[in-house]
Chain A
Amino acid sequence: MKILVPVKRVPDPATTIRVLPDGSGIATDNVKWVINPFDEIALEEALRIKEKQGSGEVVLISVGQTAWQEQLRTGLAMGADRAILVKADSPLDTLAIARVIAKIASDEKPELIIIGKQAIDDDSNQVGQMVAELLGWPQATFASKVELADGKCTVVREVDGGLETIAFPLPAVITTDLRLNEPRYASLPGIMKARKKPLNELAADSLGVELAPKLKIKTLKTPEKRQAGRKVASVEELVQMLHTEAKVI
């Protein structure tokens, strides 16, 4: 089975994010870049499906700039077979990125697209669902369990108030939640092998899809910081304060 895994380059979750004084973006000096953690879970799931079936191909796709090669190489080192980097010079909105991924998918014809439920930089939680609609495929968002049998897929989803199970035929799009799996680390032999795996680059504007953004970020600002209060000496004092000062109990 061929599985397409879109990955995004994002700041390491442990990075402290600072907004630039002019509000044009975030400071990127001293930022360590990683694969979006939810996309790592997506890649891990794809690799497990391939290993279980004993055959298949896992193809990575990124829509970004040259520097994104770094994360694609990491994904190849984890075990993906090849990678596609679609380069875009100007910032694209979520719908344009979804259009690029859908276009690549219509050429590559994977049976599954597995993608993180959200990127931890913009927190949009949109691209997987958009790709599914553009392709006319079923979608299973926030997956915590994926089962494949006879061309049919059954997914347990993390939703409000419980777990929902849905089923559908392939091809389809799955977006991953935290509990789906624990991603592996790239091994040393994996890293060596990754250097020789194919990483093809092409230009977004050569694909013939609409790229002009309809969503524009006008400005960024730092939210007001919450001030730390004070320490209390005992449980008794805490409960008194909550009762008489904060008046919340």
Chain B
Amino acid sequence: MGDVLVYAEHRGGHFPKTTLIAVSAGLELARKRGGQCIAVLSGDGAAAAAAEIAKYGPSKVLVLEEPRLKHYLADAAAQALAGLVKKLGAETVLATATALGKDLMPRLAARMGAPMASEIIAINDDGTVVRPMYAGNALATIELDGPVRVVTVRGTAFDAAKPSASAAPIETVTPELDAAALKMEFVNFNEIKSDRQQLNEAKIVVSGGRGLKSGENFKTVLEPLVDELGAAMGASRAAVDAGFVPNDLQVGQTGKVVAPELYVAVGISGAIQHLAGMKDSKTIVAINKDEEAPIFGVADYGLVADLFKAVPEMVEAVKKLKH
């Protein structure tokens, strides 16, 4: 009883750090519910990713083998997982609240008639969970009833699982799918290639806002600082909406939530929706010419300055520090 099934996301056999966060939250929940943590993978390269995931502490790793699961699609994945949950008698299905986790888990919950809590940040000993609401202005303690539940976890709230001494056994499962009910078709994936770190994996994030004024300035002014610090680049919604940078970089309530060691907000005023995505960062720096900007209310170090002068100066100062 109390078993937790973790959906371990990967792309072509490689998994992001967020997958290890799901495993770690799954292990914690299984311990508190007196059950086992079982990881499940599907899609192209699942076997290779499974061999890696097996080293991070789950009791068992399952690989769903079925040609229709080659490319992830919500309808097929929800069917396959619902069947597996029934077979295993698992109590909770858990995934990280990535784009895929957010797409799949509610569909799975509806298929199973299960309640779902999104983006939980803590698991209490009594089995209740905590999640932010209202752009992080309220923390709700949630009780989920019923024989089966679904949760997604916020990537910043749990540590990544650590490798253990032994590897869990891996089993292959062939799900039974109702093919007639599957109507979605994968067309293509247009990957935004970048040599920089992923936003939700970086120790340092440098984000730009409307104050950068153009996409060109992101390249010529902000990127040198991003690269000098070995950081990931982020942006406010205003900068994404203005087309300065791709949507994938948006930090905030409706974009990505990050909590790096250092978050540098450049030309970002600090709307509550942006703060919801970064206020748990360890150290926050704000550079803005408006000394009344709300971002200074959460910044550990605030610099009131023209960013077009301050950012190049900072690049030079960081360079000097390194040599």
A235–B308 Cα gap in the complex (Å)?
12
Q: Are A158 and B99 in contact (CB under 8 A)?
A: yes
A124–B298 Cα gap in the complex (Å)?
25
A123–B113 Cα gap in the complex (Å)?
20
Would you call B118 an interface residue if the criterion is a C-beta within 8 Å of the partner chain's C-beta atoms? yes
Would you call A54 an interface residue if the criterion is a C-beta within 8 Å of the partner chain's C-beta atoms? no
Would you call A168 an interface residue if the criterion is a C-beta within 8 Å of the partner chain's C-beta atoms? yes
With A230-B301, A232-B301 in contact, do A138 and B128 touch (Cβ < 8 Å)?
Answer: no
Q: Are B102 and A235 in contact (CB under 8 A)?
A: no
Residues of A within 8 A of B133 (CB): 121-123, 220
With A95-B115, A246-B300 in contact, do A218 and B183 touch (Cβ < 8 Å)?
Answer: no
What 0/1 pattern do residues 3 to 42 of A give for CB contact below 8 A with B? 0000000010100111100000010000000000010000
Q: Are B190 and A17 in contact (CB under 8 A)?
A: no
Tell me the A79-103 residues at the B interface (CB within 8 Å): 93-95, 98
Residues of A within 8 A of B119 (CB): 123
Tell me the A207-249 residues at the B interface (CB within 8 Å): 213-223, 226, 228-232, 234-236, 238-239, 241-243, 246, 248-249
Q: Are A249 and B318 in contact (CB under 8 A)?
A: yes
Which listed residue (A11, A132, A231, A242) contacts B283, Cβ 8 A?
Answer: A242
A144–B240 Cα gap in the complex (Å)?
13
Which listed residue (B16, B107, B300) contacts A229, Cβ 8 A?
Answer: B300
CB distance from B146 to the nearest CB of A (A): 5
CB distance from B189 to the nearest CB of A (A): 5
CB distance from A55 to the nearest CB of B (A): 25
Q: Are A94 and B75 in contact (CB under 8 A)?
A: no
Residues of A within 8 A of B261 (CB): 248
A139–B76 Cα gap in the complex (Å)?
11
With A214-B145, A235-B317, A248-B204 in contact, do A165 and B188 touch (Cβ < 8 Å)?
Answer: yes
Would you call B51 an interface residue if the criterion is a C-beta within 8 Å of the partner chain's C-beta atoms? no
Would you call A1 an interface residue if the criterion is a C-beta within 8 Å of the partner chain's C-beta atoms? no
CB distance from A47 to the nearest CB of B (A): 20
A223–B115 Cα gap in the complex (Å)?
24
Which listed residue (A95, A179, A222, A223) contacts B116, Cβ 8 A?
Answer: A95
Residues of A within 8 A of B283 (CB): 242, 246, 248
Would you call A169 an interface residue if the criterion is a C-beta within 8 Å of the partner chain's C-beta atoms? yes
What 0/1 pattern do residues 115 to 134 of A give for CB contact below 8 A with B? 00110111111111111111
A129–B190 Cα gap in the complex (Å)?
23
A136–B183 Cα gap in the complex (Å)?
9
Would you call A192 an interface residue if the criterion is a C-beta within 8 Å of the partner chain's C-beta atoms? no
Residues of B within 8 A of A161 (CB): 11, 191-192, 198, 248
Which listed residue (A159, A168, A231) contacts B100, Cβ 8 A?
Answer: A159
CB distance from A181 to the nearest CB of B (A): 12
CB distance from A13 to the nearest CB of B (A): 7
Which listed residue (B135, B139, B183, B303) contacts A235, Cβ 8 A?
Answer: B303
Which residue of A is nearest B185, CB measured?
A: A167
Would you call A141 an interface residue if the criterion is a C-beta within 8 Å of the partner chain's C-beta atoms? yes
Which residue of B is nearest A139, CB measured?
A: B74
A242–B264 Cα gap in the complex (Å)?
11
A241–B301 Cα gap in the complex (Å)?
8
A177–B252 Cα gap in the complex (Å)?
14
Q: Are A95 and B110 in contact (CB under 8 A)?
A: yes
Which listed residue (A13, A128, A231) contacts B273, Cβ 8 A?
Answer: A13
Which listed residue (A126, A131, A138, A158) contacts B247, Cβ 8 A?
Answer: A158
With A125-B118, A178-B237 in contact, do A162 and B192 touch (Cβ < 8 Å)?
Answer: yes
Classify chain B: how many residues form its interface, as a range.
Answer: 35 or more
Q: Are A162 and B190 in contact (CB under 8 A)?
A: yes
A229–B201 Cα gap in the complex (Å)?
25
Residues of A within 8 A of B106 (CB): 94, 125-130, 133
Would you call A160 an interface residue if the criterion is a C-beta within 8 Å of the partner chain's C-beta atoms? yes
Q: Are B253 and A239 in contact (CB under 8 A)?
A: no
Residues of A within 8 A of B111 (CB): 133
CB distance from B264 to the nearest CB of A (A): 9
Q: Are A235 and B310 in contact (CB under 8 A)?
A: yes
Would you call A68 an interface residue if the criterion is a C-beta within 8 Å of the partner chain's C-beta atoms? no
Would you call B98 an interface residue if the criterion is a C-beta within 8 Å of the partner chain's C-beta atoms? yes
Would you call B157 an interface residue if the criterion is a C-beta within 8 Å of the partner chain's C-beta atoms? no
Interface, chain A (partner B; CB < 8 A): 11, 13, 16-19, 26, 38, 93-95, 98, 117-118, 120-134, 136-139, 141-142, 144, 154, 157-169, 172, 177-179, 213-223, 226, 228-232, 234-236, 238-239, 241-243, 246, 248-249
Contacts A/B (CB < 8 Å), 12 sampled = A11-B134, A95-B109, A117-B254, A121-B134, A129-B74, A133-B75, A154-B187, A230-B300, A231-B304, A239-B321, A241-B301, A249-B321
Interface, chain B (partner A; CB < 8 A): 11, 16, 73-75, 78, 98-100, 102-111, 113-119, 128, 132-146, 181, 183-192, 198, 204, 229, 237, 240-241, 247-248, 253-254, 261-262, 272-273, 279, 282-285, 291, 296-305, 310, 313-314, 317-318, 321
**Shortest beta-carbon contacts, A-B, top 6:** A229-B300, A129-B106, A214-B115, A126-B106, A130-B110, A215-B115
